[in-house]
Amino acid sequence: MPASHRPPVYAPLSAPSQALLLRIFPRSAPPAWWLGAAALLCLGAGPSRAQVLESLPPPIPLSQAEDRPPTLEFRVGQRIEHDSNIYRLSDSADATPLTGSSKRADTYGVTTLGVKLDQSYSLQRLELDINAQAYRYQNFSALDFTALNYAAAWRWSLTPRFHGSLSADQREFVDNTIDVQSSSEVNRRTERRALFEAEYEIGAAWRALAGVFERRLKNSLPQTYEADATATGGELGARYVWPSGNSAAYRYKAASGDYSGRLPTLLAPNEFSDREHELSFEMLPVAGSSVRGRLAHLDRRHDGFEARDFSGLVGEVSGRWALTGKTRIEAGVLRELGSYQTSTASYYEGERLYVSPVWKPTEKTAVRLRLDQSERRYKGGIAPLPVGRRDTTTLTAVSVEWEPLRLLRLVASFQQDKRESNTAGYDYLAKVASVSALLSF
């Protein structure tokens, strides 16, 4: 997918997501129980956003994991992209203080090395995806970086009735957008998550659920509106599974965390707590199709800094349908809520809708379209007269894929990323064209 400002994170959200929904991630080194598991798993690569990596598909539910064949795959790729507005500057903004010239566009290359493993051993299954990508810019060499991204999971089972998963992912990317342009320095962002889940089948339909998690968000620049944050917590719940394979679940999640490295002030609290009640479901109406969803109430509190508190509904519904043998469509709607602390805002809320049809005229070719529209409203803050910032972002993209050989995939794509805002300086328009080749063996 071409580079853009904060491209959509495909459901289920991780971050975001998850980063998009909780915006909380652990700060310090992982605990011993996770380091031991990571050594066994070897670690792997996850999705990203903002001029980084292509989004990976959501993890396959445990109920379907046993149906997949074993996989060991190596990847080598090269992508060339031209971006008309690298820093996502407003048309009214002067690029010179940031870039040293009037230039806004750049052409850059992305070299990819990756490995993917999906293997079962008796009742156990290991999933691993590692992706290293080197970005090299023609004009703005300060943005050059190499990202190591991974997603890994151990789908464990002690008995056929007692099973679960141990998983982790990491995403690294440069966030060079208007929201962090307080200086000419480059902000490098790292997001990490670790999750241990257990499920016990009480009977034919009921399951008991439990889990613990850690999440981390780290910025290389000290002053960002989405500040460094850490959180650790746990969850308890229950799931009901129908004979058809459809399921519904309830989870209660609680976490405590802090905005790492920040000194508490009248404007910036240091600690927070999250409480979340979540209902989720999964439906498999026909072969090749699925519908998933979640609806939760999130409540974040800052002791002694009530002006930064927020609460409300978050969630998503996403589906994938095979319309014909050559056509399928993916679509979803999401409700967002997250921390964003300035003098005029404490959090944002918003909605996002996306539709992505895929047409395969032949076995070796595919045409993909994507339309993504979102709105964010920034609320709260400590200023006497809040600005009430409101952003609307529209992402449209088209790509054509061709597989001349079984191991080789060629892709050409075009994307337009546009944001409109009622606050001066936060609007932008960027057009991105790219060609890429990926060798998998």
What tens digit of pLDDT does each residue of 297-350 get?
Answer: 999 999 888 888 999 999 999 999 998 889 999 999 999 999 888 888 889 999
At residue 325, the pLDDT reads 86
In the chain, where the domains are located: 32-309
Question: Would you mind telling me the total number of residues written for the chain in this entry?
Answer: 441
Q: Which residue has the higher pLDDT, 20 or 366?
A: 366
Torsions phi, psi of 153, nearest 5?
A: -150, 140
Q: What is the mean pLDDT of the segment spanning 270-274?
A: 91
Q: Is the pTM of this model over 0.85?
A: no
Predicted confidence (pLDDT) per residue in 60-71, tens digit: 444 344 455 678
Q: How confident is the model at residue 224 (pLDDT cuts 50, 70, 90)?
A: low
Q: Inform me whether the pLDDT recorded for 43 exceeds 70.
A: no
The mean of the pLDDT values for the chain is: 82
Task: Name the nearest CA neighbour of 312 among 259, 344, 282, 351.
Answer: 351
Rounded Cα–Cα distance for residues 2 and 417 (Å): 10
Domain 32-309 belongs to what architecture? Answer: Beta Barrel (2.40)
Q: HEC states along the chain?
A: CCCCCCCCCCCCCCCCCCCCCCCCCCCCCCCHHHHHHHHHHCCCCCCCCCCCCCCCCCCCCHHHHCCCCCEEEEEEEEEEEEECCCCCCCCCCCCHHHHCCCCCCEEEEEEEEEEEEEEEECCEEEEEEEEEEEEEECCCHHHCEEEEEEEEEEEEEEECCEEEEEEEEEEEEEECCHHHCCCCCCEEEEEEEEEEEEEEECCCCEEEEEEEEEEEEEECCCCCCCCCEEEEEEEEEEEEECCCCCEEEEEEEEEEEECCCCCCCCCCCCEEEEEEEEEEEEECCCCCCEEEEEEEEEEEECCCCHHHCEEEEEEEEEEEEECCCCEEEEEEEEEEEEECCCCCCCEEEEEEEEEEEEEEEECCEEEEEEEEEEEEEEECCCCCCCCCCEEEEEEEEEEEEEEEECCEEEEEEEEEEEEEECCCCCCEEEEEEEEEEEEEC
pLDDT of 103 strictly over 50: yes
- Please say if the pLDDT value at position 37 is more than 90: no
Model confidence at 28: pLDDT above 90? no
> What tens digit of pLDDT does each residue of 179-205 get?
655 455 667 889 999 999 999 999 889
Identify the pLDDT of residue 295: 97
User: Does the structure show a pLDDT above 50 at 20?
Assistant: no
> Is residue 19 pLDDT above 50, yes or no?
no
Is it the case that residue 50 has pLDDT exceeding 50? no
